[in-house]
Structure 1
Amino acid sequence: MYQHPVAPLPAPRVLTQPMAMELLTADMALRIDTTVCYDSRDPHALSIAFHLLGEEPVVWRVDREMVLAGSLRPTGDGEVRVHPGPDGTLLLRLGPAGTRAVVRCEQEALARVVRETFVLVPQGTEERHIDWGPLLASLGA
C-alpha cells in the first residue's frame, strides 16, 4: 500500500511564563499564581496552570486566537469565555454555569505571551507542527 511521504515535524518549541492572576468572588479578588505555557506540538492552545495552595495545579486550555479576540470583544462558547475587563484587564470565565470561575489578568501581559506564540508558530502554519501519525495509526491508515 502506497503511503504519502510525510514532512518531518519542526523541532518542538516551548514557552513558559509565570503570571499573577486574580480569582474574582462576590466579595473579593484572590491572587493566584499561574503559569502560562505554550507548546508548538499543540499549536492552537495555551495552557494556564492555576497553582492553588496544597493542591495539584488546575490546568485550563485556551485557544490563543480567542485570547486576542477576547481583548477586543466578548468571545468564546461553552466553558471558556474571554472578554475585556475594565482598566486594561482581561476576564476569563472558566467552567460550566453554576460552578464557573472568573479570573482577571493583565490584558497586555497575556497578549504579550500570545504574540510570542505567533513568533514560534506563525498563524496558518499550525498544522505543520502537529504529529498526525498517532491519529492516522489509530484509524488504520
Structure 2
Amino acid sequence: MPQHPAAPLPAPRSFTQPMAMELLTSDAAVPIDTTVGYDSRTPHALTITFHLLGEEPVVWCFDREMILTGSLRPTGDGEIRLRPDTDGGLLLLLGPSGQRAVVKCDQEALCRFVRETFVLVPQGTEDRHLDWGPLLASLRR
C-alpha cells in the first residue's frame, strides 16, 4: 500500500501563567499557588499544576472546551466536574465522590487563558497538531 507523505506538524508552542486559586474547606478558603499551562502537542487539553507546601506539585488535565462550558453551567463527570459559582468564580470539583476537593478560581482569568489557547490552536484544527506517527507505527507491528 503506498504511503502518502504526512503534512509537517506545526512547531510546538506552549505557555504557562501563574494563577491564584483557593481550596474551599468547611472552615475556610485556603490560597493555593497554581500554574495553568498549555502545550500545542496536546491541543485539546490544558493543565493546572497545584503547588502544595512541602509536597510534590499535583497536575490535573482539563479539556479546554469543558472549562468554557463549566463557566456557563455545571459540566463534567467522574473525577472532574466544573460549575460556575454564584459570585462569578468557577468551582473545580476534583477527585472521587466522598474525597472531592473543591477549588475556586477566577472564572474570567481562566477563561481568558483558554481563549488564548484557541488563538494558538483554533477549534477544529487540533488534529493537525497531533503526532500520529508513534501510534500508527505501533499498530503496524
For this structure pair, what is the TM-score category when the shorter chain's length is used for normalisation? over 0.9
Q: What secondary structure sits across from 1:102 in the alignment?
A: strand
Paired amino acid for 1:59: V
Give the superposition deviation at 1:4: 2.3
1:42 is matched with which residue?
Answer: 42
Alignment of 1:1-141 (within 5 A): 1-140=1-140
**Cα-Cα RMSD:** 0.9
Paired amino acid for 2:25: T
Distance 1:87 1:79 in 2: 24
Paired amino acid for 1:120: L
Structure 1: where are the runs of 5+ without partners? Answer: none
Structure 2: where are the runs of 5+ without partners? Answer: none
Aligned length: 141
Distance 1:79 1:12 in 2: 29
Paired amino acid for 2:46: L
Distance 2:108 2:64 in 1: 14
Paired amino acid for 1:118: F
Q: What secondary structure sits across from 1:31 in the alignment?
A: strand
Q: TM-score, normalised by structure 2?
A: 0.97
Q: Percent identity?
A: 77
Paired amino acid for 1:57: P
Q: What secondary structure sits across from 2:140 in the alignment?
A: coil
Paired amino acid for 1:131: D
Q: What secondary structure sits across from 1:23 in the alignment?
A: strand
Regions of 4+ moved over 3 Å: none
Give the superposition deviation at 1:3: 1.6
